[in-house]
Amino acid sequence: MQKITRDQIVSKAVSLLQDGTVSAVLGWRQGEFCYDVTPSVFNTAEDIEANFVWNDFCGANFSKYLVSKTKNIDGKLLVFLKPCDTYSFNQLLTEHRFNRESVYVVGIPCEGMVDISKVKAVSGEGIVCAESKGAGLSVTTIYDENPKEIPYAEVLSERCLNCKSKKHVAYDELLGDEGEVIDSARFDEVEKLESMTSEERFAFWQGELSRCIRCNACRDVCPACTCEKCVFDNPNSGAESKAPTNSFEEQMFHVIRAFHVAGRCTDCGECSRVCPQNIPLHLLNRKFIKDINSFYGDYQAGAEVGMRAPLVDYDLGDLEACDVFERRDSE
């Protein structure tokens, strides 16, 4: 389904490595199965040719890796960024989290990435092959030699079904089109939550967050979470916690985190992708994005480098606290 092929990406990576433009390549490494790709730095053309993958399971957002992977690099690191990844890239640059000069960005188009758990819900366990075929995935399992064809609409991850932009907002060169910002229905779920009574909403979040195991994967993958020392890891902070001691604590963790990334979250959706308990964490962030849009005018974090986010900026037209109370009282 992807518009560009693995071969195109591989030959681009190899040529940039061989002509000295870059000294290493950040890409997706082949796993045990067709879907378990691992982000990886490639240093040789041979390694790239043998192990680089590009398929419908390359969902990982590489932007945050640039913080650690460019620290001690000689020359430039080549990174392939999908449109949504480029927003995180810009946001991290805005926050001075890595050196732009250490990175060479090739923008690649993305037609949406597949959520393997959705595939398994249809195909069952035992997947031996899941490859793109027409408008869907052709999935073979050890239980059925005949491939099952599953339309993409059934297996794309939520963030891709509600893709907000096919536009690359940062790149040194593009493979394929620059793309456009697109209309999405990404706030529909938020509106559903808003239309609930506060009791219903509390019950909804309690149900979702009670599954949390405090693995911290959402935080650790989040491109907006790049503090050198997270308050939740710091024994001297008074807020350190390694485990869900009770449901209130879980809510504290996720709500505090959502506040902390408010205005900086680009809605890349990595938090929900990595959650082992399938908690729709992106909905917390989207609520903030929607509120910021309605209070301060449309704002997309990471659309440009150096933007002043509404929450850290001031102008005379800013919403007053009384307006917020008025809104709360009218609900």
Partner 1 sequence: MRRISLYSLDSLFGEISKSMTLYIPASDNAGGAVYTKYEDGVEYLNTLNTVKSPKNFFFPHTEDLMEFKLQGKNIDILDIRQESEDFAVFGVRGCDVKSFDILDRVFLSDPVDSYYATRREHGVIISLACTKPSETCFCTTFGIDPTEPMGDISAWMTESHLYLQPVTEKGKALMSKIEHITEACDDSEVLAQKDKTKNILSKLPLKDLSTDAFGSGKTKELFDSPQWAELSQSCLGCGTCTFVCPTCQCYDIKDFNTGSGVIRYRCWDSCMFSEFTKMAHGNPRLTQTERFRQRFMHKLVYYPENNDGLFSCVGCGRCLSKCPISMNIVKVMKSLGGDKNE
Q: Which positions lie near partner 1, rule CB under 8 A?
A: 31-33, 36-41, 60, 65, 116-117, 121, 124-128, 141-143, 207-208, 211, 213-217, 219-221, 233, 235, 240, 242-245, 273-274, 276-279
> At its nearest, how many Å lie between partner 1 and the CB of residue 213?
5
Nearer to partner 1, 42 or 166 (CB): 42
User: 157: helix, coil or strand?
Assistant: coil
- Neighbour-count burial for 107-116, b at 16+ CB within 10 Å, e otherwise: bbbbbbbbbb
Nearer to partner 1, 198 or 246 (CB): 246
> At its nearest, how many Å lie between partner 1 and the CB of residue 156?
15
> At its nearest, how many Å lie between partner 1 and the CB of residue 166?
24
Instruction: Say if CB 34 and CB 127 are below 8 A apart.
Output: yes
Nearer to partner 1, 245 or 294 (CB): 245
Instruction: Say if CB 285 and CB 265 are below 8 A apart.
Output: yes
Nearer to partner 1, 238 or 297 (CB): 238
- Beta-carbon contacts of 235 under 8 Å, excluding residues fewer than 6 positions away, are none
Nearer to partner 1, 169 or 281 (CB): 281
| Phi-psi map region of 289: left, alpha, beta (phi>0 left; psi -120 to 50 alpha) | alpha
Phi, psi of 80 (to 5 degrees): -95, 120
Angle at 219 between CA 120 and CA 78, to 5 degrees: 80
Angle at 259 between CA 90 and CA 161, to 5 degrees: 60
> At its nearest, how many Å lie between partner 1 and the CB of residue 214?
7
Q: With CA atoms as reference, report the closest residue to 89 among 181, 13, 177, 170.
A: 170
Q: Please report the beta strands in 159-221, taking only residues with DSSP state E, as ranges in sequence order.
A: 173-174
Nearer to partner 1, 42 or 87 (CB): 42
- The span from the CA of 282 to the CA of 191, in Å, is 14
User: 266: helix, coil or strand?
Assistant: coil
> At its nearest, how many Å lie between partner 1 and the CB of residue 32?
6
Nearer to partner 1, 270 or 300 (CB): 270
> At its nearest, how many Å lie between partner 1 and the CB of residue 39?
4
> At its nearest, how many Å lie between partner 1 and the CB of residue 314?
35
